[in-house]
Every structure is written in C-alpha cells, then in structure tokens.
Amino acid sequence: AQKVTQAQTEISVVEKEDVTLDCVYETRDTTYYLFWYKQPPSGELVFLIRRNSFDEQNEISGRYSWNFQKSTSSFNFTITASQVVDSAVYFCALGPRAGNNRKLIWGLGTSLAVNP
Amino acid sequence: DAEITQSPRHKITETGRQVTLACHQTWNHNNMFWYRQDLGHGLRLIHYSYGVQDTNKGEVSDGYSVSRSNTEDLPLTLESAASSQTSVYFCASSAGNSPLHFGNGTRLTVT
C-alpha cells in the first residue's frame, strides 16, 4: 500500500529555533516523486519542493533544507532559524513518476507554530 | 502572472440545493483537479481532467460532477448538497507531471 505518514500533528517553537518536520512514506514503486507543500493561515497551498526517488542529494534553499533517505523511506524538512512567517501547515506527498498527478498520496500535515 | 482563481471564497448553502464552485486557470495547463480538505483526512481527490471533454472520478466523487468545455475552467457541481460535503475545496492544475499549482480554496458550508 502507498502511504505517507507525518507523525507530528502540531509543533510549536520559538522564533530562531531550528525545526524538523518528519515525513515517512511507503511505496512499492521503484521510481517516484516526493513533495512538500506549505499551507499558510491564508489557506492556499504552495509548492515547496519535488524530489525524484533516484536523487538522494540533500537540497537547501535559503533557510529550508530537505533530507531524503531511501534507506529509511523518509523525506524530512528542516527550517533553520525559524520565523513567524513560517507558521503554516506543511504537507508531504508521494506520487508515481507517471500518472499526471492523479495518484498523489498526501500526508495529514504538520501544523507549525512559530512564536515570537 | 498566471494563476488559478476559485470562486466564491466562501459559500453557505442549504441541504438539497445544487451548488457550483468555479475554477479558472491561466497557466494553460491541460490537467486540472478538484480536492476536498477535511480535518483528519487531509486532501482527497474528487475529480480530475486531462483536457477538454475529459473528466475522471477520483476517490471521493459521489455527489459531485465536473465538466471541461475549455482549457481554463473546471467547475465542480454538487448535485444535491449534503452536510457531509461541508469542507474546503481546492482546485489545482499541472502541465503533465509537473507539480500542482493550487487555487486559494472555497470554504463551503452546507446547513
């Protein structure tokens, strides 16, 4: 079965703390994509990153970094020096490389509160 | 800039009424999707379309329909609204297998 688990339902940190959001997935596919989306309080879903299953290099974008480990089926997301604007619900998703997004499997999300 | 616009942003309707939620994208994407978002269930796919005149059922399609008469629009119709359809609805689009672009959502309350 395909599944995405975001075990942390809610996380609360103080500004400038580092925080890691966990994402563990299950799939029988040998090739797949992993995604992270951000949903701020305004409600829209914003794409953050897509990672191909054959590329295990870590990715860094400013204060955001992603750690993909096939050995543990995890695709964790770290925010360094968190800011209040990072407060949002973050979703991890899994999808096959073919299929035009109709088979995306979504985690239930982690709600991150960054307090001043 | 290209975007996806959903309307209305908020809607309150009564049980049994027909409701249509609009979705308009200017990305010129062939693929369009409707999701509903509910606490404890995350995002669930209702319907999707890969092009004009193409529509397909997702995992929670009962009670919903869509039509695709042009590239830009994929309206979602609730034939006879039920309280179980109270939710936040998101429209999304993509080109091929590229990441989804989402609209701002429509919060629907069925009383």
A32 contact residues in B (CB cutoff 8 A): none
Q: Which residue ranges in chain B fall short of pLDDT 50?
A: none
pLDDT at A99: 67
For residue A33, what are its two tokens? 């994509």
Percent of chain B at pLDDT > 90 equals 92
Check CB contact under 8 Å for B42 and A43.
Answer: no
The mean pLDDT value for A67-83 works out to 96
DSSP string, A46-95: EEEEEEETT----EEETTEEEEEEGGGTEEEEEESS--GGG-EEEEEEEE
Q: For B81-105, how does the pLDDT look when each residue is reduced to its tens digit (9 = 90+)?
A: 999 999 999 999 999 888 999 999 9
Residue numbers in B near A108 (CB within 8 A): 40-42
Q: How far apart are CA B12 and CA A29, in angstroms?
A: 42
Residues from chain A that touch B90, judged by Cβ atoms under 8 A, are 45
Question: Any chain B CB within 8 A of the CB of A1?
Answer: no
- Res A56 pLDDT > 90: no
Question: Which residues is A35 bridged to in the sheet?
Answer: A50, A93
pLDDT in tens, A76-111: 999 999 999 999 999 999 998 776 788 899 999 999
